[in-house]
Amino acid sequence: MKTKRDIQLELLQELDEICKDNNLKYLLIGLNSLNAYLNNTIRNASRIVAVGMVQTDIDKFCQIIEKQNNSNRYVEGIFNNPNFLPVYVTYGNTNTTDFHMVALNRNIHHGIHIRLYPIFKAETLDGEPIVGWDSRLSKEREFRKFSSKRIENKKFWYMKAGFGALNFAYKITGGAKRYYNNVKRNIAIDKWEDIQNYSKVRFINKTVSSKHFLDFQRVEVDGIEVNLLKDSDALFSEIYGEDFKEIKIKPKPPRKRAIVDTEIGYEQILSETQSILTEIRSTHEELVWGRRKVSHEKETVKKVWNLVKMTGKELEYEEFFEENIDRLLTYDLDDEQEFEELYDELEPVIRSLNMYSKYGMTFPIEPKSMDLIKRVLVKLEKEDLINRIEKISKKKYFVE
């Protein structure tokens, strides 16, 4: 039986051949590229096999795969799956099943795959950072993440209906296409030569100098040839440090709770296990809901208990000020020694006020005593505590 890495290598070789035949460029990226450069293998590096391409070449590659109409292969990205959040595109094998992919709600395809990452603009030649996700796109990204949740439990039918309505409205108004086009317009690079129009570029989560991207070299990796940057020494030095050649790449253990089957297609797996998967998700949703309910009840009990303890402090300090306020008012706040003595007496009260204000609570203190506390806080430059107390007091969250 072929391993997951065997199939990823097959897909990588296919991508390489398609790119050579159609004048497309790519380069191996991520930890696998370092392993390929140092050890001529990618078998014991990251679970993800990733390549970097400019946006136009990614689009052309996807068009080529779709025109081939090969039922054994698929491409998936936000252009053909409106609920798909990442910007990368997956190129995968439909005759395989990666259970980890099945567990992700937003995926349509669940086969073993490699990832195609766009190379993004990161910094102009003048050193100005380029913002990809502005506030509007960031909010839309959060909305996409929220609305793509799938609900299986029948008890939560209203949530399922709500998500369905949101997704339908988003799709009918062209949201997915608009989002994709806006992201591309903001940060995508269309041509390889355009990379040099920026001082820095980004792929996956790495930001590096664009000067490394001038030329390629061919490297043999696990029996196939792939592209790396010709200036790989400089690139890896920038990413991993000058001693990158000393890095020992540790094999990644299999994911816990993940099953990989490289002989049965995911459509058959999903068809035969749909009822089980639905029951698992339904039970999980009920457990999550129950856990949140318990957490909410626990938080409520905690707040009530804090209120009880605060009421005890209120009674204690009320008695304290009745007996001592006249004496406390005789202290001279401008005298350093007298101020320290006064603070020592008021410190427990101030500490309690500060602690309970963080819980959104406070307790009333008669005006003369509170005025004294405020003058002490002003001298200590703790006006923020005064403001918190006054804000909470207006909401009347204290016990009278």
pLDDT digits (tens, 9 = 90+) for 145-158: 777 777 777 777 77
The pLDDT assigned to 15 comes to: 96
Helical pair 4-21 and 55-68, crossing angle rounded to 10 deg: 100
Q: Which two tokens stand for residue 399?
A: 């016990």
- The pLDDT confidence band at residue 397, using thresholds 50, 70 and 90, is very low
Rounded distance between C-alpha atoms, residue 357 and residue 353, angstroms: 6
Three-state DSSP at 211 gives helix
How do residues 172-187 score in pLDDT, each as one tens digit?
887 777 877 887 888 8
Three-state DSSP at 27 gives strand
Q: How many residues does the chain have?
A: 400
Mean pLDDT of 188-196: 92
Q: What is this structure's pTM?
A: 0.69
DSSP state of 131: P
The answer to whether the CB of 220 falls within 8 A of the CB of 16 is no
Three-state DSSP at 113 gives strand
Determine whether 21 is exposed, middle or buried from the number of CB atoms within 10 Å of its CB (0-12, 13-18, 19+). Answer: exposed
Query: Which range among 190-194, 299-303, 385-389 has the greatest average pLDDT?
Result: 190-194
Rounded distance between C-alpha atoms, residue 363 and residue 376, angstroms: 18
Give the bridge partners for 25, in sequence order: none
Task: Write the CA distances from 297 to 64, 291, 294, integer angstroms.
Answer: 55, 10, 5
Q: Which two tokens stand for residue 380?
A: 């200590």
Rounded distance between C-alpha atoms, residue 41 and residue 32, angstroms: 8
Three-state DSSP at 201 gives strand
The answer to whether the CB of 57 falls within 8 A of the CB of 141 is no
Mean pLDDT of 208-236: 91
Asked which of 16-20, 23-27, 364-368 is least confident by mean pLDDT, the reply is 364-368
Q: What is the DSSP string of 312-363?
A: HHHHHHHHHHHHHHHHHTTS-TTSHHHHHHHHHHHHHHHHHHHHHHHTT---
Between 84 and 153, the more confident residue is: 153
* DSSP H helical ranges for the chain: 4-21, 31-39, 55-68, 99-103, 135-147, 157-172, 175-187, 232-240, 266-328, 336-358, 367-379, 383-395
Q: Which two tokens stand for residue 28?
A: 């191996």
